[in-house]
Amino acid sequence: MNATGTLSRATQIVYRVGSRHSSEVDTLTLEPDGRATWSSQGRQCEVQLPPDVYGDILGRLAQYGFKAATGLHGDAMADYQHEIEVLEGPKKKSRCTLRLGHEFGTYLGDAPIGMKEVVALLDRLASRVESGADLSESADALMGALLRNIDFPYVNPHGEPGAFQLIDPRGQVLAASALRFALPHASGLLPVRDGDRFGFVRPDGEVALAPAYALTLGFSEGLAAVKLDGGWGFIDVRGELVIPARFVAAASFADGLACVQLGDHTGYCDRAGEFVAAPPQASQLGRFAEGRAPFRALSRMGVPAWGYIDRAGQVVVPAGFDYAGEFCEGLACVQQDDLFGFIDTSGAWAIEPRFTDAGDFHDGLAAVGDSGQYGYSDRSGTAVIDYRFLRAGNFAEGLAPVGVGAKTGFIDREGRMVIDPRFDLAQSFSEGLAAVRVDHRWGFIDRSGRIVIEPIYEGAGPFGDGVACVRKFADPRPVVHTGSRKVIINMSKKP
């Protein structure tokens, strides 16, 4: 009997939470018609949910409730025991019983994929039912509130992770996919591994630079960091070593500079190989963007904080922020005292810290959050698009992905919904296409919202230089049932 067949006959979902310190068990019972009952220590509450909520939760259990797991150790350590049952008829249990250990809000061991999200969803619903709140709002609105900040992952329940592939904008698999490639793909070249050496190929599989390097980070701004016997250096697209291999470590170029370590000194080198040392107090360095790079050091109060240096390695903004992002369109997002704001390249506040969350500026707008709701701010700090979304991505090519309830769509710069929210998740547009997730499968749409690459992938990245990296689903392995009426899943591992 398969999972879909079993759950299609479901007549009840029962969720129990018990403490090992008490014999009392709290129970949430959900019926197909939307009735929800919470029983706790002799007290009972019943509310009416939209019927579609039952089907939504059932679908999630079908997605995650039949992954086999073993190991019983750890039950005695768990302060709380979560048990989910799906009943398929009067007093008849289906093949879906999940027991999950939980202690002080932290899960013991590695939770089976999706299970902690299921528990979090049911916990939130149980809390609302227990309070006797009016839950007769639309199913989309209720599920949107219940699912806030809960992202259900997709797993192939019977297979290992699938292989990565490279595709073109038509969805055609490129020949380089058959090789042991790595990202990034830039300057038309892709790192590949042959034995213990790395070289570079074109997406069509043509070898451009023969494998000769112990390691590489790929091309960026026309140069690639490569490791040779003498250390790290940089090559150009012809394979010529334009910066000698004299560094202990090296990162990719950004804004004309690459972070490197020369002997015991950390700093940056330019495209001519000239080295500029970082401030001696810096314990961590970021990438350059628009002439500034974030660095981490002890603040005047003696606590770790972030500031910025210029191309000469001089401190231009003292370390004093809890977080410091890269500059983008002349401003950088920084965090101070749990709130986010934006500074200019001199360190002056362009927008005082007043957001609970914030992203970078793109197309003149930045996604900003206020207590779980998101909108967009312009460079003056004015909220030009109101806080009405559950998620908000970066603008690109005039559009931005936003979350409405449990779904994601796209808005334009005026805040108008131009692609209806019908996707599970979505990324920003790149080269005219955006990766979207539909029923836990990733594909790509164009700017009209039309699916141009079918959602058949486990994962997908954005297009760049005409190529996108996607991950296939693994071929399913055969399922062998033991005949047991229950599948018991414990979240703790054996020692």
Residue 89's pLDDT is 57
Domain of 29, CATH number, reads 3.30.1560
Pinpoint the alpha helices (H) of 8-79. 51-64
In a domain, 438, yes or no: no
Residues 387, 370 contacting (CB under 8 angstroms): yes
Domain that holds residue 134: 3-146
Q: pTM here? A: 0.70
User: Would you give the DSSP letter of residue 467?
Assistant: B
At 9 the three-state DSSP class reads coil
Region 337-359 average pLDDT: 95
Question: What percentage of the chain's residues is helix, strand, coil (to nearest 5)?
Answer: 10, 50, 40
Beta bridge partners of 269: 258, 275
Residues 115, 123 contacting (CB under 8 angstroms): no
Q: Which two tokens stand for residue 90?
A: 């009067």
In a domain, 402, yes or no: no
Residue 476's pLDDT is 63
Q: Which two tokens stand for residue 126?
A: 């149980």
> Tens digit of pLDDT for each residue in 390-418?
999 999 999 999 999 889 999 999 999 99
**H helix or E strand, kind and range, residue 162:** none
- pLDDT over 80 (residue 484): no
- pLDDT over 50 (residue 359): yes
Region 14-34 average pLDDT: 77
> Tens digit of pLDDT for each residue in 191-238?
999 999 999 999 999 999 999 999 999 999 999 999 998 899 999 999
> Tens digit of pLDDT for each residue in 427-473?
999 999 999 999 888 999 999 999 999 999 988 999 999 999 999 98
Residue 475's pLDDT is 74
How far apart, in Å, do the first and last CA atoms of the chain sit?
33
Residue 146's pLDDT is 82
Residue 103's pLDDT is 38
Q: How far is CA 52 from the centre of its chain?
A: 27
CA atoms within 13 A on the CB side of 331: 24
- pLDDT over 50 (residue 483): no
- pLDDT over 50 (residue 482): no
> Tens digit of pLDDT for each residue in 67-116?
333 332 233 334 556 777 777 655 444 444 444 444 333 344 445 566 77
> Tens digit of pLDDT for each residue in 122-132?
888 888 888 87
Determine what percent of the chain is predicted with pLDDT higher than 70: 81
Residue 121's pLDDT is 86
Q: CA 254 to CA 218: how far, in whole Å?
A: 13
- pLDDT over 90 (residue 327): yes
- Look at the chain and report how many structural domains it folds into: 1
Q: CA 333 to CA 18: how far, in whole Å?
A: 44
Residue 34's pLDDT is 87
Residue 71's pLDDT is 30
CA atoms within 13 A on the CB side of 154: 20
> Tens digit of pLDDT for each residue in 159-184?
567 889 999 999 999 999 999 999 99
Could you tell me which of 359, 406, 403 has the C-alpha nearest to residue 117? 406
Sheet holding 284-285, edge to edge: 284-285, 293-298, 304-309, 315-321
Cα–Cα distances in angstroms (integers) from residue 347 to residues 35, 316, 319, 320, in the given order = 56, 7, 10, 11
In a domain, 80, yes or no: yes
Beta bridge partners of 261: 249, 266
Residue 135's pLDDT is 72
At 40 the three-state DSSP class reads strand
- Omega prior to 184 cis, within 30 of 0: yes
In a domain, 14, yes or no: yes
In a domain, 375, yes or no: no
- Residue bearing the bigger pLDDT, 185 or 104: 185
Residue 463's pLDDT is 96
Residue 149's pLDDT is 74
- pLDDT over 70 (residue 493): no
> Tens digit of pLDDT for each residue in 261-289?
999 999 999 999 999 999 999 999 999 99
- Residue bearing the bigger pLDDT, 259 or 94: 259
In a domain, 311, yes or no: no
At 145 the three-state DSSP class reads helix
Q: Rounded mean pLDDT of the chain?
A: 83
Residues 6+ apart with CB under 8 A from 254: 220, 221, 287, 288, 289
In a domain, 389, yes or no: no
User: Would you give the DSSP letter of residue 428?
Assistant: P
> E strands within 405-483?
407-411, 417-423, 425-426, 434-438, 441-445, 451-457, 459-460, 468-471
Residue 22's pLDDT is 58
